[in-house]
Amino acid sequence: MKVSVEHLSQIKKKITVNIPAEDVDKEIKDTYRRLQANVAVDGFRKGKVPLAVLKKRFGGDVLDEVSTKLMEESLPEAITSEGLMPIAAPKISIRSIEEEGPFTYDATIEVKPDIDVQGYEGIVLERYADDVADEEIKTVLEDLREKHAQYKDVDRAAGEDDLVFVDLKCFVDGVEAKSLSLTDFPITVGEGRFLPGFPEAIKGMNIGEEKDVQSTIPKNFHDRSVAGKDANFHMTIKLIKEKVLSDINDEFAKDLECSDLEDLRGKIRDNIRESKKTYGRDRQRAEILDQLIRANTFDVPESFLEKQTQYFLKRAEDKKRSGNPDPEDMGLSPEDMRWKYRRLAEVKLKGDLILDAIAEKEGIEVSDEELDCKIAEIAESRGEAKEAIGAEFERQGLKDFVKKHIQDEKVFDFVISKATIKEVSNTDEQPKADEENG
């Protein structure tokens, strides 16, 4: 068997395999012998069918069977002998196969790019301070106060910040739209979360009053039959509730399961600081990948790229079905969606391949103990037994995913340890802490 490799690109190789005529002839004869022993042909006894008759009737099938068998036997050996590691099924092209002649075929395979990563030592990164200002704590306290507001019934005209319950009958082109005809529907005056025109129309109305409101239904509304159309709503005020805000004191803190106000402030401070650390860490990782992707040019295997693109598209479709689509996807054509997520897939895969290449170059590995500790950490966060989580990950094939995550974190830590760090003060770009601190 002769094997040659043509390097079509960094990620695509064409293997040409030539199997000598004598090996082909032996396999063809063996196949005909098996066929002759088992096939029945009219006019001949089983096992006595002349070879010429078999060739005339089954010649094409025999050559197909022989070529398949020879490829199955020779291709793995050819790939191994050339030190190649395919990442997807090869594309086969048969050049020639005939009796009394050699068998030649091509196998085009994709391989992971061989990346000699440059520029990951001495990379310049920013590190944001994680100190917390009193004004930030005050902002979170006010947000908590709003979030935990109480509402009491009132008998007066609706005003700003009131929670008003209404009955709506919606008509589009003179026909009632059931999807927007609602009973006891809550609208907060001043928030503007419902359709345009409603907060202004409600303000000043009393319980029992009725009014017609003109509005336009959003183009992305789930009922496509009325999406984007002008509508007339007949509205009836059912109930008006006034917002009541608690005083920020020890009692308010105890309602949030803190011992007193100072305890609540401390938890808010810790939460903000942790949020800033997470934000800074995530920003550093994004900056590392951005710089390294720009510094290292290589192709991503098409099979990887297509699989990741399809995963992103399916996730986007699932979010859309659940009523929580990405706002940036609204109005995009299928072609634009595919183009968008293919670009994102390419960036994601380039980042993964670069991190893997650094890990290999620097000998960064994940030990069994590290994997075990991470699984124990996940189990504790879920409130489940480590053994149960380990067995679940084993069944679902998730251990390699966890291992990859640990390895990536170790690579990031390595790159950061070699980086030039520029300290940056707090900025408005950083996120607020989570508002649930009690």
Classify domain 150-244 by CATH number: 3.10.50.40
Q: Is 15 exposed, middle or buried (0-12, 13-18, 19+ CB in 10 A)?
A: buried
Residue 136 is given by DSSP the state H
**Which pLDDT value is given to residue 193?**
78
Res. 431: pLDDT tops 60:
no
Res. 167: pLDDT tops 50:
yes
- Average pLDDT for residues 341-347, to the nearest whole number? 96
Classify domain 251-424 by CATH number: 1.10.3120.10
- Condensed to tens digits (0 to 9), the pLDDT of residues 96-119 reads 787 778 999 999 999 999 999 999
Q: Cβ distance 435 to 143 under 8 Å?
A: yes
- Average pLDDT for residues 205-211, to the nearest whole number? 96
Band of the pLDDT at 421, cuts 50, 70, 90? very high
**Which pLDDT value is given to residue 429?**
53
Band of the pLDDT at 430, cuts 50, 70, 90? low
Mean pLDDT of the chain: 90
**Which pLDDT value is given to residue 427?**
52
- Condensed to tens digits (0 to 9), the pLDDT of residues 298-328 reads 999 999 999 999 999 999 999 888 878 888 8
Band of the pLDDT at 221, cuts 50, 70, 90? confident
Identity (one letter) of the amino acid at 145? R
Would you give the distance in Å from CA 271 to the centre of its chain?
27
Res. 223: pLDDT tops 50:
yes
Residues 224 and 221: their CA atoms lie apart, in Å, by 7
Domain extents in the chain: 2-110, 150-244, 251-424
Residues of the chain with pLDDT > 70, as a percent, come to 96
- Average pLDDT for residues 61-90, to the nearest whole number? 92
Band of the pLDDT at 330, cuts 50, 70, 90? confident
Between CA 337 and CA 390, with CA 87 as vertex, the angle to 5 degrees is 85
Q: Cβ distance 393 to 375 under 8 Å?
A: yes
- Condensed to tens digits (0 to 9), the pLDDT of residues 243-287 reads 999 999 999 999 999 999 999 999 999 999 999 999 999 999 999
**Which pLDDT value is given to residue 426?**
58
Res. 378: pLDDT tops 90:
yes
Res. 51: pLDDT tops 90:
no
- Condensed to tens digits (0 to 9), the pLDDT of residues 132-151 reads 999 999 999 999 999 999 99
Distances (CA, A) of 310 to 306, 313, 402, 403: 6, 5, 22, 24
Residues of the chain with pLDDT > 90, as a percent, come to 73
Res. 194: pLDDT tops 80:
yes
The answer for residues whose C-beta is within 8 angstroms of residue 412's C-beta and 6 or more apart is 284, 285, 288, 355
pTM, 2 dp = 0.72
Q: Is the pLDDT higher at 428 or at 80? A: 80
Band of the pLDDT at 379, cuts 50, 70, 90? very high
**Which pLDDT value is given to residue 47?**
67
Structural domain 2-110, CATH architecture: 2-Layer Sandwich (3.30)
Band of the pLDDT at 9, cuts 50, 70, 90? very high
Band of the pLDDT at 347, cuts 50, 70, 90? very high
In this structure, the number of other CB atoms found within 10 A of the CB of residue 379 comes to 18
Lowest mean pLDDT among 34-48, 59-73, 321-335, 341-355: 34-48
